[in-house]
Amino acid sequence: MKELLLIIAKRLGFDRSIAYSSGGSIVGAITGILILFFIGIFLSEEEQGFYFTFNSIIAIQVFFDLGLTGIMTQYVAHEHAHLHWAENQVDLIGEGKYTSRLSSLLKFCVKWYGAISVLFFIALNIVGFVFFNKYNNERGIEWQTPWILLCAGAAANLFLAPIMAFITGIDKVKEVMKIRFYKNLIIPLVTCLGLILGFKLYVLGVASIATAIYNYSQISFTQLGEILRSIWKTKITEKVSYMKEIFPYQWKIALSWISGYFIFQLFNPVLFATEGPVVAGQMGMTLQILNAINALTMSWMNTKVPLFSRLIELKDYYQLDTIFMKTLKQVGVVSIFLLSIFFFGVVFIHVTDFQIGKIKLYNRILHEGPLLLMIGALLANMAVSSVATYLRCHKQEPLLIQSITMGVLTMLSTFLLGNAFGLYGITLGYFILCILVGLPWGIYLFKEYKRIWHQ
């Protein structure tokens, strides 16, 4: 039996980095179901709507991050490709040009995000108070202080995000995935315990702050901290120019990420405003599970970013394409398997009328029709995300127009069809756009730019 499992793991490309990454996602998926039960027991249907709409509004951090976290790993990996570790596994050795540029990237991250996280905290509070004061009809729900607490945790995590991306770029993928694995244990533990103790909506902020404290401790008080301090102390003789090297690429990624907000995060606020917190809660619960599955399957692809970037820097395109196509197949197999389990699990809950006490779980999640449309759209987006990861490792953003177009079309579809047909209009419009526009366009760009760049 052990030999069979090893063979399957090998065929699926299951290595240590993926073990920590996917292990964290598996734990996240399992505990996500546990959280679903706890939310069903300890939060009302209206409070569930607030819970998930909080998360959707928090996602406006993309307007402050502007894609920099996502590309920092690639820039760091390109510099790190010319360096190697000393015997103490703390210092990086190589040409001074590259150690200097690496140090400049680290200092840029800390200074830039120190300012951005403060601005994010202020803006987030303003947006949240305006939105919920305007569309909240449930006056008995305490949301103001929980919202402030959540904003503080989100700002702290925004500051730490590029540091984690930097560490990933210096090929400490296993260490980063290990941190994320344990983070995925902390969040549900704090959330479930908080719900049991009656914290209600406060649990989001408490869990966010607990995550920030854990990430900071793992960065500062381990070998990773020693590595970062060693890089920080490197004498700067040559810098990575933000305006000349990063910004020409970042603004394209920023527009793609902002478009992603309108593609993935607009559903809950629109449903909250048009159909109320109950339906928004159903969509939120569904998206949480789908996002957990997406995070798990995409870990196969995301853990390869440093490797892809290194192979591109060395112009080993044959090895690059071989590994990418193999990884893409693995992503497809795992995602279809997990999404099938989720869908038929919902069918089972419906048929058996499964309840926790007097609470029907079926009423806390999207029903089969809209759910199937969201699953189909997710599969298409996984394929596009995979080719986007491949192309972005070239420090290019050829999917810019595609991302903006999809963002605009999804926003229009969500507003127009949501107002006219409600939940079914939103999910059907999103499915059609992903299958008929996003997927074929993404595949075309992948083939075209790969042909041009690898001639």
Q: Tens digit of pLDDT for each residue in 37-65? A: 788 788 888 888 899 899 888 888 888 88
pLDDT of the residue at 7:
52
Q: Say what the pLDDT of residue 448 is.
A: 92
Residue 5's pLDDT band, with cuts at 50, 70 and 90, is very low
Structure tokens at 410: 């999804």
**Is the predicted pLDDT of residue 133 greater than 60, yes or no?**
yes
Q: Is residue 8 part of a domain?
A: no
Is 7 within the bounds of a domain? no
Residue 253 within a domain? yes
- Does residue 1 lie in a domain region? no
Per-residue pLDDT for 186 more than 70?
yes
Q: Which tops the pLDDT comparison, 422 or 374?
A: 374
Burial (CB < 10 A; 0-12, 13-18, 19+), residue 244, is exposed
Whether 284 contacts 53, CB under 8 Å: yes
The pLDDT of residue 20 is above 70: no
* Rg of the chain taking only CA atoms, in angstroms: 22
Residue-level pLDDT at 295: 81
Could you report the per-residue pLDDT of 144-176, keeping only the tens digit for each? 999 999 999 999 999 999 999 999 988 888 888
Task: State the total domains in the chain.
Answer: 1
Q: How far apart are CA 332 and CA 203, in angstroms?
A: 34
CA distances from 41 to 25, 153, 187, 261, 360 (A): 24, 25, 18, 30, 10
Least confident of 196-205, 292-301, 420-429, 441-450: 292-301
pLDDT beyond 50 at 71? yes
Mean pLDDT score across all residues of the chain: 85
With respect to residue 5, please indicate whether it lies within any of the assigned structural domains.
no
Question: Cα separation of 373 and 427, whole Å?
Answer: 6
Q: Name the residue range of residue 192's domain.
A: 13-453
Residue 208 pLDDT level (bands cut at 50, 70, 90): very high
The pTM of the full predicted model, rounded to 2 decimals, is 0.72
Domain assignment present for residue 6? The answer is no
Distances (CA, A) of 74 to 90, 174, 335, 398: 21, 16, 25, 16
Model pLDDT, residue 32: 66
Q: How confident is the model at residue 22 (pLDDT cuts 50, 70, 90)?
A: low
Mean pLDDT of 116-142: 87
Is 111 among the domain residues? yes
